Chains A and B, each alone.
Chain A
Amino acid sequence: MASPNFYEARHLAFRTHLHVSDSLLDMLQQSSSLDSAVAGLLAAPVDQIELPDWHLQAPRRPGPEAIDAMRRELILWWFKQLANCENQLNEMMVLFWHNHFVSALSKVKWPPFMLRQNVMFRSHALGNFRTLLAEVLADPAMLIYLDNATSQSESPNENLARELMELFTLGEGNYSEQDVKEMARTLTGASVSRLTGDYVFRRRWHDAGTKSLLGQTGTFGPQDVPELILAQKACAEFIVAKLWHYFSGVQADTALTEELAATFRQADYELKPLVRAILLHPDFYNYAGNQVKSPVELGIGLLRFLPANDALNAAVARATRDMGQQLFNPPNVKGWPGGRAWYAAGFIPAREQLCLRAYRFMHSLSSPPDWQAELLAVSPVGKSEIEASSNPLLLALQDPAMQVK
């Protein structure tokens, strides 16, 4: 067992944090081993958060201006967490679940629903997948986004049933069209109270008949769905492969998928042992620099070098939208495609502009504060190039390597 070297520490830092600082790299390198560095990251407490006072407000029809105000506050609320959170790995997992169990404000409409979903992701981000899945199936934003809230036994709505199996748990090809229909019957009645905005099970809308679903037969209801799903071999495999891809940037092969899925099942679907196995896997350290930063990663990575304030948060929120990632509004139920799609020609100007604006902002401050030294220390550009350059800060921000992690 040896302390992590600089390259291991840097890779681990970039894949588990939105913002990498010199002090973070020091801390990771001072761990007695990679194992203890990862254990330290996973042991960090979940941040306490403050919520806007409207977060529990029941859905009603206020004027569009009131909704717009809430929507703006909602986005800024998340950017405040992103800019200030201590537990960045948990925040990275919240972003992961937001892009996995997708719901979008454009359809859900009522901002408190999206806020409550985000709070739910926060509590289970590194918790137990079985619990998380059960919470998602009773989440008002999800039930509205995928139309289950109006599904009734007579011609049920298939939207949630299908995407639950295709995109959330099993993967395309691991269920039949008959399973979609039977899952839709099973989920009928899982709805949202118009009065309170809470989950409600509408017994009269539920199809109480016998279903033949995923190889099992019974009078299943929504509460049976997590176990029916987890009984499928494909579920653990699907989730571990997606998380491996999230952290490593590459597809897992069959052997690795089975290895991680075994870990996941053994841990009874606890997420921390799985994430630990991924972050300690020797292959993981082969992929430094292979991921294009998402707009949020690029934006928050820079923002956290600057003195925090609401105006800067709002500016970065707008920039991420122009770079193609408007939080709370993924483009469709599969989420943002990510990867190299983040660097489509139409997004390049906004990415470049963000880096230039960060430079101008830093440059405009009279004396070079610590963050300048810190940015240069973690910059993708080597120290010798920095020393040779007449404008090291601009060099670091415009380097192509700033775009990847």
Chain B
Amino acid sequence: MQRRTFLKSLGALSVLTYMPRSWGQEQNADQQGRLILVQLGGGNDSLNTFVPFTDASYYQARPNLAIAKEQVLAITNSLGLHPAMAPLMQHWQSGEMALVEGLGYANPNRSHFRGYDIWHTASDAEEILSEGWLAQVMDLLPMSLDALVLSGSPGAFAGGADLFNLAGQTDIASFSPAFMPSGSSDISSLQFILDSRAQYNASLESLESVLAQAPEPTVTFPNTAFGQQCELISRLITGGLDAPLWHLSLGSFDTHANQADEHAALLTELAEGLAALCAALKADEQWSDTTIASYSEFGRRVGENASLGTDHGTAASHFVLGGNVQGGLFGQRPSLTELDAGDLIFTTDFRHYYKSLLQKAGLPISAQLQEYVSLGF
């Protein structure tokens, strides 16, 4: 093994001082908002989340799992929310919730992991890209901290700098700075450790000072992992952290068996957490700058299986929430009878959705998404 050069200056053990980076004070908050992505890990069953309650073929395909017409929360005369989504109903009614139907891509892949690669890199089905779709956006942002990942896969940010990945941990108050020797290493894994510690230390100081300034939330957040992550986002935003990109995750939505109770519980956790986050951001007048959007690696099979669950499918609908969002239905509802091997045929390329989200959040559009069109929400 080669000598590591940084060791030569490693006699003393003092934690070295570091330069906290400025937090983009030159930014104009009126122009740039923030995008909070919500990963529904495992493949959310959007047919049971946004229920086509007048479509007889929906009830035929799901004799056991279909949500009864009397139970859905109707948002149009043919579509209703799963009852567990009730906490978000007020946002539909106030025109702050958009639903984009039929999102997907050609030649859909039904693997969780290949599916996520495609969604995270905004590639075609057969195309292998290494950079996340937000990495190019991060390159165009002048911030010192572009993205905060509370939980879930950081794949959408892969290759982008200035990311802080909390990896599900929310107790920032218990974090302390990492020991930082001076110097550098010509072994890439050691340089990676050094870089990670430096970035961690710099960001931690800023996060702690933001949290110290954050007002006490006026809203009670649910005592679930997802709820606590929503609360941390709220505290960081109301404390003044101006990172434009945020990510959190819930799941597993991979409901192959006994789906009904599990799916309802997940949607409850999702809707209650997000409703609290929306309320907190509204109270702090951050709501008009905020766009919250869901995504998932695929939807689920139209027909249920014999284990009272649903297998991997293709296209799905996703929701967008925000003070500046044009509420209503966007995209186009896929047919439940003209199927591809039992799966929905997508109507709306997910990259139109991505471009629309960036536009709505006032973020720069990467070259990769230039050719796509805004869906208008």
Q: Are B256 and A332 in contact (CB under 8 A)?
A: no
Query: Which residues of A are found within 8 Å of B189, using beta-carbon distances?
Result: 289-292, 340, 404
Q: Are A348 and B1 in contact (CB under 8 A)?
A: no
Interface centre among B6, B113, B308 (most CB of A within 10 A): B113
Query: Which residues of B are found within 8 Å of A172, using beta-carbon distances?
Result: 109, 111, 113-114
Task: Tell me the bound Cα distance from A395 to B12 in angstroms.
Answer: 9
A81 interface residue per 8 A CB criterion: no
Q: Are A391 and B13 in contact (CB under 8 A)?
A: yes
B164 interface residue per 8 A CB criterion: yes
Q: Are B168 and A346 in contact (CB under 8 A)?
A: yes
Q: Are B197 and A332 in contact (CB under 8 A)?
A: no
A376: shortest Cβ distance to chain B, in Å? 14
Q: Are A346 and B165 in contact (CB under 8 A)?
A: yes
Task: Tell me the bound Cα distance from A10 to B7 in angstroms.
Answer: 19
Task: Tell me the bound Cα distance from A158 to B145 in angstroms.
Answer: 42
Q: Are B257 and A340 in contact (CB under 8 A)?
A: no
Contact of B190 among A10, A173, A350, A401 (CB under 8 A): A401
Q: Are A162 and B312 in contact (CB under 8 A)?
A: yes
Q: Are A177 and B252 in contact (CB under 8 A)?
A: no
Q: Are B1 and A147 in contact (CB under 8 A)?
A: no
Query: Which residues of B are found within 8 Å of A340, using beta-carbon distances?
Result: 189, 192
Contact of B113 among A146, A154, A334 (CB under 8 A): A334
Query: Which residues of B are found within 8 Å of A322, using beta-carbon distances?
Result: 169
Q: A332-B252, A388-B11, A398-B13 are in contact. Are A345 and B199 (CB under 8 A)?
A: yes
- Chain A 136-159 residues near chain B, CB threshold 8 A: 146-147, 150-159
Query: Which residues of B are found within 8 Å of A290, using beta-carbon distances?
Result: 187-189
Segment at the interface with A among B68-76, B79-87, B298-306: B298-306
Task: Tell me the bound Cα distance from A7 to B2 in angstroms.
Answer: 10
B-facing mask of A327-351, CB < 8 A → 1, else 0? 0000011100000110111111110
Taking CB as reference atom, which chain B residue is nearest A349? B175
Query: Which residues of B are found within 8 Å of A157, using beta-carbon distances?
Result: 256-257, 305-307, 309, 311
A-facing mask of B117-136, CB < 8 A → 1, else 0? 00000000000000000000
Q: Are A348 and B192 in contact (CB under 8 A)?
A: no
- Chain B 194-221 residues near chain A, CB threshold 8 A: 194, 196-197, 199-200, 203
Contact of A352 among B7, B113, B176 (CB under 8 A): B176
Query: Which residues of B are found within 8 Å of A348, using beta-carbon distances?
Result: 175, 178, 196-197, 200
A381 interface residue per 8 A CB criterion: yes
Task: Tell me the bound Cα distance from A322 to B167 in angstroms.
Answer: 10
Q: Are B176 and A349 in contact (CB under 8 A)?
A: yes
- Chain B 301-326 residues near chain A, CB threshold 8 A: 303-309, 311-312
B25 interface residue per 8 A CB criterion: no
Taking CB as reference atom, which chain A residue is nearest B193? A400
> Number of A interface residues, CB 8 Å?
59
- Chain B 279-311 residues near chain A, CB threshold 8 A: 303-309, 311
Q: Are B11 and A7 in contact (CB under 8 A)?
A: no
Q: Are A166 and B111 in contact (CB under 8 A)?
A: yes
A363: shortest Cβ distance to chain B, in Å? 13
B179 interface residue per 8 A CB criterion: yes
A224 interface residue per 8 A CB criterion: no
Q: Are A347 and B169 in contact (CB under 8 A)?
A: yes
- Chain A 368-405 residues near chain B, CB threshold 8 A: 381-382, 385, 388-391, 394-395, 398-401, 403-404
Query: Which residues of B are found within 8 Å of A391, using beta-carbon distances?
Result: 13
Q: A291-B189, A400-B194, A401-B190 are in contact. Are A344 and B306 (CB under 8 A)?
A: no
Taking CB as reference atom, which chain B residue is nearest A146? B256
Interface centre among A162, A347, A400 (most CB of B within 10 A): A400
Contact of B305 among A156, A341, A350 (CB under 8 A): A156
Q: Are A389 and B305 in contact (CB under 8 A)?
A: no
A-facing mask of B152-167, CB < 8 A → 1, else 0? 0010000000001111
Task: Tell me the bound Cα distance from A353 to B178 in angstroms.
Answer: 9
Query: Which residues of A are found within 8 Å of B199, using beta-carbon distances?
Result: 345
Query: Which residues of A are found within 8 Å of B304, using beta-carbon distances?
Result: 155
Taking CB as reference atom, which chain A residue is nearest B207? A345
Q: Are A158 and B13 in contact (CB under 8 A)?
A: no
Interface centre among A172, A350, A382, A388 (most CB of B within 10 A): A172
Q: Are A162 and B305 in contact (CB under 8 A)?
A: no
Q: Are A403 and B174 in contact (CB under 8 A)?
A: no
Contact of A151 among B4, B110, B200, B306 (CB under 8 A): B306
B residues lining the A interface (CB < 8 Å): 1, 3-4, 6-7, 10-11, 13, 41-42, 109-114, 154, 164-169, 174-176, 178-179, 181, 185, 187-190, 192-194, 196-197, 199-200, 203, 252, 254, 256-258, 303-309, 311-312, 341
10 smallest A-B Cβ distances: which pairs?
A346-B167, A150-B307, A346-B169, A346-B166, A400-B193, A152-B306, A159-B256, A344-B167, A147-B257, A344-B165
Give me 4 other A-B pairs in contact (C-beta within 8 A), A156-B305, A400-B194 excluded.
Answer: A156-B306, A349-B176, A388-B11, A389-B11
User: Could you name 12 residue pairs across A and B whose Cβ atoms are closer than 8 Å?
Assistant: A154-B306, A155-B303, A157-B306, A159-B256, A162-B111, A162-B312, A344-B154, A345-B199, A346-B169, A348-B178, A395-B10, A400-B181
